[in-house]
Structures are given as structure tokens and as C-alpha cells.
Structure 1
Amino acid sequence: MSVKILDQLSQDFTQLLENAYDYNVVIEVGEQQNIKFFKVHSAILYQRSLYFRQKLTSAIKKNNVIELKLPNHSIKVFDIIIRYIYGGVVSLKNSEASTIFDLLIALNEFKLTELVEHIQSHLIDNNSSWLRLNFSRIYQISFDNENFKALQQFCNDILAKHPRMIFNSDDFDKLQESTLITLLKRDDLPMDESEIWDKVILWGKAKTPDLSSNMEEWTDDNFKSLKTTLQHCLPLIRYFQIPSKDILIKIKPYHSILEKSIWDDILAKHLAPDIPIISPILPPRKKVTIQLPLRKTSIITPSSSILTLQHVAEISSWIDRYSTIYDATEIPYEFKLLLRGSRDGFTGKVFHRLCSNIPDTVVVVKINSTNEILGGYNPLVWKVSNAEYGEYATTDDSFIFSLKNGNMDQSILSRVKNTSNAICYGSISYGPWFSNCDFGMGKYPNFTPKEWRCTKGDYEKHIRNSSGWFSIDEFEVFKIRKL
């Protein structure tokens, strides 16, 4: 017979970490004014982490204590890791997606590979919206680490459908060359080759110093510098798939950065197509047609009494920080109805019963008298707070909006600016609140159903022409899920 009392063992070792009894290692984490010292035990570090085993074998003791420094790690992340090393438990409750991703990177560095796969799955299952919002960074880091196979597959699945998420991102020009080369080697990029050329030139200019924004001022040395920058990327362009007009307008101004034989063959292909070409001809990229008709009718399940498919496309584009609105056939999310006021009720209690503790939700209300559709997106969960003055949750990704409808010619998007006050939690009588004033439900002390408030505070813009309380006619909450 064998008895396993692992919970008690975990608690005992966690207590040993907290009371630091007979410690012989001090780890300094952070830098400058944000530093914390962790007093730990070499025997536990040696046995539980290959990273620390290697560090300890070469460490020098001072007064019988080993000192280690980790200046490039956050205190919050290292606290999670050291507690896992001692107690075998990782708690991600209330952790921001950015913290969890930093944790994944640190776990990989500390060679705690048994957790890497689990954390990747957690991010993909619970924080896919955040992964999309930070796609360029996620893509680059995941392909720089061979242990991040699940994230690599997640990125590949997205790129096969939405390559512009990385090519149109604000930090595209910060991509490492190896990452760009991996992209250019793909045969399944559903983009026109001339557009890919534009992006490669844009990246090359950003990586080449001392280039004037006016090409007419460029010298031969400038073109040679750009050619050197792009020497590993240019052979991966499918030049013979670019139409004549784009050859003239886009390629010709840069023809001096191409090998002479390639430029000659490009001209020959368009001017004398019967003449044999000696340059290697890469196959056309496979523009896979994404078959969406079967799911198109179930993007909103069940159908909404407020939102149209065009509204959902616009909200989805905002969630992904996409520069243009998704085509209705390319919406990457399902909107699953959690609550409808006319069906379930308009009170805070109903809201929390049906929507609390569910991340990635979109809240929308309809005002019949003005034809307004107002709403907001919360990537975090909703919950009840018993604090006297409520409490706030921090996120960079929430936003509120007014949708184009009736007399509204243009939608209004208002992203959070004071991120520490992004989401407000109150008593069970309150409904959803974006900050404590910008947009929300629950008028103290009577909490009259259908009473909502909208002002300008912690978000960028006002989404109504007037401030204060107003009455709504319908109210819906959706859980969004990646398709």
C-alpha cells in the first residue's frame, strides 16, 4: 500500500519558501528601483530546474550564500515560477494575458519544459483575442523557440487565412529577418505578389540606415545598401506572378537592387514571352479559398435582435486592431448570445447569473427613440465586488463604441486610455461598467431596470452626443469565440 499526500507536501515546501528557513541562495530579480530579493535553497533549485543546476555549479559563495542576479525578469513572473519550483502549483487566477505570455517565455528559459505545453494551451484556449492583438510579437517569439509548437500552429492557422494581420501590423518593420524569410517561403500566403513586394520594400527601407524618404535623392550607394539588406528576401519573391502594370509602377523603380539576370528575365517574360527564361521560377502562391458559407449563418448564435453581420464584422476588426473592416465572409469570431434583456431580464442579478466569470464578452444596447446602438468589449471577466467603492481591473484592450445605424453615418470607436480603470466591478445590483462612468448599467440607489449611463472619463471619446443617464429598449451580451 502507498499513500500520496501531495497537497500537504506542496504546502510545506511553499511555507519553507515563505519563511526562508536556512536559505543559502539569494536571487536578485528586477533592476533599478524595482528589485526584490528571493531567499531560497540550493538543493531545491538544483533538483527542480536544469537552468539553476547549471548556474549553481559555477556560482561563487560569499559568506556561505550564493548570490544570483536576474535583471531581465519581472518580479511578478518570477514569483509564480519560484512558487511552482517549491510547491508544484501554478496559479493563473486574475493574471493578465501579457503576464502569462511572459511567464511562458521565462519557463522556457528556466528549462521548466513540463509546463510550457500547458501554458501554451491555456493562452490559446483562454486568451486567443490577446494573441491576435499582439500577433506580430507572438509570431516572432514562437518561431524563435522550438518548444512553442502549439503557438506556432496557432499562428500558422491564422496566417493561412489572414496574413495581413502581420503584414499590416504597426510593428511589421521590426520583424527579424529570419521571421520575414519564413513568411516569404510560404506557398499559401493569400496575398497578391505585388502587395508582398511592397511590404518587403517597406521592411527593407526601415532596416537600411540613411535612406532619404525621397527616392529621387538616393545615390547608387543607397540602392546598394538596400540590396544588401534584402539579399536573402529578394530571391523569395514570385516575380513572374506580378502583372505588367505593377512591374512598371512598383518593380522598375527598384530594378537596380535585383540581379541583372532576374531583371532581364522579368522584362523578357512581359515583352517577349516566347524567349526562354534562365532564372528560377518559383511556383505561384496557393490562394486557398476559405469556405465559410456553412458557418456564415451561425456567426451570431442565436441571431441578434440588435447586431447585423456587418456590425459583427466591424467589432471583430476592432478586437483584432485590424486597419480595415473584415469582409462578412472572413469574420474570425463566433458571437454566442449569453443574455437578452427582453428574454432574460434587465437587472444586474440576471447579468451576473448569466455572464459573470466569462472572458471575452461584447455588451450592446439599443435605444429605439434615437436608433442608437451602443456597446463595449471586455477581454476580461465580469464579477461581483463586495468592496465598498467597487474595484477596477486593468487591460489595454477594452473599448466602447457606437455603431453605424439609421441616422448614424459613422461608427465611433473609443479605446481605453486609463488602462488601470478599464473595467469596474460593483455589487450584484450593478451590471457591466466600462470604467465607473464611461458606459454602464446600474443607477444607485434604486437600480431601475433599463437605466444606463454614458459620459467621458477613462476612454478616449464620447460615444453619445449627450452625457448622463438614459433608457434602453434592448440589451444583449455575447461571448466571442475564435473560429
Structure 2
Amino acid sequence: MDDNVFLPKLSQNLLKSLDDDEYYDITIEVGNDPYVKIFRAHMVILNYRSTYLRRILSTNKKKNDGNLVQIKLPNILPEIFQIILRYIYGGRLSLDRCDISDIIKILIAANELNLQELVNYLQLYIIENHKKWMEQSFNLVYQTSLENDSFLELQKYCTDLISKRPDKILKSISFSSITEKLLVSIIQSNNLHHISEIQVWKYVIKWGLAQNPELPSDPATFSKEDFNVLKNTLQQLIPFIKFNNLTSKEFSEKVLPYKKILPKELYKDLLKIFLNLNPDGRPNEIQNINSKIITFQHTELISKWIDKLDIADKSTSSYEFKLILRGSRDGFESDIFHEICDNQLCTVTIIKVKGNNQILGGYNPIKWKSGRGYGATKDSFIFSFEDGDDINDHILSRVMNENCAIFNDRTYGPSFGGADLVLRGNSGHCIKDSYEKQIRCPSSGMISN
């Protein structure tokens, strides 16, 4: 027989004792005026369920004069304590009808009462069931986790989000209320691969204006004092903006209106760079890409393949290659690939083969999807570099069967054709099917980065 078979009845009986008018020996005043409620309880149960309440009761024991023990909990709302009291007595907690903001209040109250079992449960419940809300209300979650040392799961969640998906924090509803220190760490991150640098600039300006709501929204109407206020607010942030990643047009339209908040030397240097560019050009010195596998020379060649140019063409690339996923950093799991890459257009997959210097890859101009099926396009291609250091030693294979160009499945990573280039976890294979050429001898053991 199950040892726990009698627990539901025990829980039910203990919960009934909360409504008993005869045998209670303690009253608890919860809340602050005008929202105060008196709860009746039993010292022995509170003593063994909450170490916090045990400490209070040990210094405020019932006297022999017939008076009840009274304690006060002014920091907890009555409706929140009602839920916690049912947990203390019956071991029951129903959160289905609770608003997420109330669940946060329950968590904070449970922490105050030192109900560690409940604290641990609520943290995991929030993370598993309210991820979207946590992203949108990140600053509340972040500040709550920092203010309570026992919220280790929330702290880990926040640290991971800052590290792996800082762009989600910038896009959150509570973005404008994050601290300067947190914003600096975000714009310094190497993982801002889901938004462009001009968007980073816009978010920084948005944050600065939010800290000074008296400022106009249009810089054309700023006074000298207005510029000084915004300059002082953003002085710790501007040094971390990667202005060299902007086009001349972006610099002219979005940065120049705020030129008076830039340090003079920085402004002079930027003028020298951007005034000599065509509107869509970027500074020439930006030839480094965020990849551990390929170089700028590889991207120039891949760009020509995308544009269907001859490799001898002297044109330089007009594309910006921006890292959105790195296997060694983000993980090789298929669900991670789809979480980050689904609905992304014009992606290049780069794969390093384990044990040698071979590089494989593919270009997908259409969206990746989680639903199983094929994506049709006439512009995709796959490729290989036999020696990753030699861009001339390559195989380019364009799609033949356009209707089977891209294979989508939530259990697979980036996959091209029927089997031409397929990745699943950190292994894969290449078998000619829907593309012109075999890019590698059929084998497994690929490692994607």
C-alpha cells in the first residue's frame, strides 16, 4: 500500500481547522491600514512549518492569563497570506487562477516566512510557465532576484538571459527601467546578434529619454541644456556603441541629430570615416566577422555565390554577416536551433568537421521552420572547403530540385535537400539528392559551430 494514501484526508482535516472557532491559540494581524485582516491559527502547526514564525513565537509565547498570542506581518497582503496559510496547513497550492504578479508576491512572502520548499517550487513554476512574461517584465524579475539571496533559480535565469539573449531584454516592456550598469553589460555583450547596431543606438537613446521624461522626443527641438542633460545620462554608455558597424546613411539620419551628446574627439573621428562613404557603405576597417570557423575572405566568396557572380568579379560584398547561433556557445540541440533561427531569412550555415580542417555550409534564403516538410527555393546552395584555410579549394553545389531545397523538422538542425547536408545535434551526413554535387564523402561526425 502507498504510504501516502492517507495524506489527502489529513490535508483536508487540517484545512478545516482554519475555520474552527474553538481551538485556535494565536491570531495573526496581516497587512497595513486600511487593508488589515486577522487570521486565527494554531501555534504548534506554525511552529513546525515555518522557522521564521517559530522564532517569533519563541519570543512571544502564550501567557497563562488566558490571552492569545498575537503576531503581526505588515509586509504581506492579506489575500497573499491566505494562500500561504492554506499551503502551511494542507500542503496545497493552486496557482491556476493567480495572476503572475500575485505569484511573485507569494514568492516574496514565502521567502520572508522562510518556506524554502515553497520558494524553490514557485521559482521553477514561474520559469517553466511564464517565460514570455519574464522576458517582457525582465527588470522586475531581475531586481527581485537580486534583492533575495535565496532566489537562486531566478538569478540563474536572469544571468543566462543576459548572457545568451540580451536582445530580449532590450525588447522587453520594462526595458526603460533597467539600471545603467545592466544596460552597459548588455551593449558590451558579444551576443547581440539578433539586432543591428543602429537598433542598439536607438535603444540607448530611448533609455536616456526615459530617464529624463521632461526632454522632448524630437532632438530638433532640444535646447543646449537638453543636450547636456542627455549627454550626462548617456556618458557611460556611448563609449560602448560600435559606431563603425553603422552605414553612412544610418549615421547621418540617426546619429547626427544627437551629435552634441557625443564626445568631441569621437565625433570628429566619425565624421572623417562616414563622410567619405557611399550611403550604404560601412567603414573599410570592418572586415572582421564574429566566427571561429571562417574569415572575411570566406564571406566575400559566399557573397558572390549569393549574388551569382563570377568569383573573379572585383565587386566587394554588400552583405553584413551577423552571428545568430554558435553551437559551442548556445548548444547543438535542435530545439535551440529552431528557437533562435526559425523565421530568420537569408541565413548561412557554417559547419566545422571534427578531426580535420574541412568546412561545410549552406545558404538558405527562406525561413527556417519547426513544422516538418520541405521549403522551396531556387536560390539555395551548399558548399565545402576541403582545407578551411584555402578558399580556392572548394565545391559549390546549387539546388536542382527546388521543391526539396530546404528540409524543416523540429528534431533536426539546419538541413538541405533530401540528404545533401543534414545536421542533427552535433552529427550529420552528406548524401547527394536534391543538389548538383556531392560536397563530401557520405559520413557522420560533423561538428557545427
TM-score relative to the length of structure 2 = 0.50
| AA of the residue aligned to 1:106 | A
Residue 225 of structure 1, aligned match among 223, 229, 233:
229
Which residue in the other structure is 1:70 paired with?
Answer: 74
Q: Match for residue 401 of structure 2?
A: none
- Determine helix, strand or coil for the equivalent of 1:107: helix
**Does the CA contact (< 8 Å) of 2:30 and 2:74 recur in 1?**
yes
Deviations 1:278-314 (A, max 9, x none): xxxxx97983337899669999xxxxxxxxx99xxxx
Distance 1:136 1:51, change over 3 A: same
Which letter does structure 2 place at the counterpart of 1:233? L
Q: Which residue of 2 aligns with 1:436?
A: none
CA positional deviation for 1:154: 4.5
Aligned twin of 1:288 = 324
Which residue is 1:324 aligned to? none
1:187 aligns with 2:223: no
Alignment check: 8 A CA contact 2:60 2:69 kept: no
Aligned mates of 2:248, 2:171 — CA distance in 1: 24
1:138-217 correspondence runs (5 A): 138-139=141-142, 141-142=144-145, 145-154=148-157, 165-190=168-193, 191-217=195-221
Contact 2:176 2:210 in 1 (8 A): yes
- What secondary structure does 1:288 align onto? coil
Alignment of 1:190-339 (within 5 A): 190=193, 191-267=195-271, 287-289=323-325, 329=367
* Alignment counterpart, residue 100 of structure 1, candidates 92, 99, 103: 103
* Equivalent position SS for 2:217: coil
Distance 1:244 1:103, change over 3 A: same
Q: Which entry has the higher C-alpha Rg, 1 or 2?
A: 2
| % same residue | 31
- 2:387 is aligned to none
Contact between 1:29 and 1:37, CA under 8 Å: does it hold in 2? no
Question: In 2, are the aligned partners of 1:244 and 1:270 still within 8 Å (CA)?
Answer: yes
**TM superposition shift of 1:229:** 2.5
Structure 2 unaligned residues grouped into runs of 5+: 278-288, 292-321, 344-364, 373-449
Query: What whole-Å deviation, never above 9, does each CA across 1:1-49 have from its counterpart, x for those lacking one?
Result: xx999937766654554436343342223664x5432223566556544
Aligned to 2:25: 23
RCO comparison, higher one (Cα < 8 Å, 6+): 1
The answer for the alignment partner of 1:434 in structure 2 is: none
Q: Is 2:128 the counterpart of 1:125? A: yes
Helix, strand or coil at the partner of 2:215 = coil
Q: Is 1:83 matched up with 2:119?
A: no
1:40 has 2:44 as partner: no
Could you say what secondary structure the match of 1:187 adopts? coil
Give SS of 1:26's match: strand
Aligned 8 A contact 1:26 1:68 in 2: yes
Instruction: State the one-letter code of the partner of 2:37.
Output: K
Residue 248 of structure 1 aligns to a residue in which SS?
helix
Q: Alpha carbons of 1:26 and 1:107: their partners in 2 closer, same or farther (altered >3 Å)? A: closer
| C-alpha distance in 1 between matches for 2:68 and 2:224 | 63
Structure 1 pair 296–172 and aligned structure 2 pair: CA distance change class (3 A): closer
Cα pair distance change 1:258/1:124, threshold 3 Å:
same
1:195-240 Cα offsets, whole Å, 9 max, x none, are 1111111111111142123423322222222233334433433334
Cα 1:194–1:48 shift into 2, 3 Å: same
Matching residue's letter, 2:114: K
Contact 1:193 1:242 in 2 (8 A): yes
SS at match of 1:210: coil
Q: Which moved more, 1:133-142 or 1:218-227?
A: 133-142
Q: How many residues were matched structurally?
A: 296
* Structure 1 unmatched ranges of 5 or more: 274-282, 300-308, 311-326, 336-483
- Counterpart secondary structure, 2:72: strand
One-letter code aligned to 2:199: E
Task: State how far apart, in whole Å, the 1-side matches of 2:59 and 2:257 are.
Answer: 57
Alpha-carbon distance in 2 for matches of 1:248, 1:202: 18
1:254: how far off? Answer: 2.3
Equivalent residue letter for 1:254: Y
* Structure 1 residues 256 and 93: CA distance shift in structure 2, 3 A: closer
> In structure 1, what is the Cα distance between the partners aligned to 2:44 and 2:165?
49
Provide TM-score, normalisation by structure 1.
0.47
Change (3 A) 1:263 1:117: farther
Amino acid across the alignment from 1:27: E
Check 1:61–1:266 CA distance in 2 against 1; reply closer, same or farther (3 A cut).
Answer: farther
- In structure 2, distance between residues paired with 1:56 and 1:137: 33
CA displacement at 1:89 relative to structure 2: 4.2
Are the structure 2 counterparts of residues 133 and 334 from structure 1 closer, same or farther at C-alpha, using a change threshold of 3 Å? farther
Matches within 5 A, 1:370-389: none
Give SS of 1:196's match: helix
SS in 1 for 2:324: coil
Q: 1:141 to 1:193 in 2, by over 3 A?
A: farther
Cα distance 1:165–1:217, how it changes in 2: closer, same or farther (>3 A)? same
Query: How far apart, CA to CA, are the structure 1 residues paired with 2:214 and 2:61?
Result: 47
Amino acid at match of 2:41: V
Deviation at 1:57, TM superposition (A): 7.9
Please state how far the C-alpha of 1:83 moved relative to its aligned partner: 2.8
1:114 paired residue among 99, 103, 117: 117
- Give, in angstroms, the shift of residue 68 of structure 1: 1.4
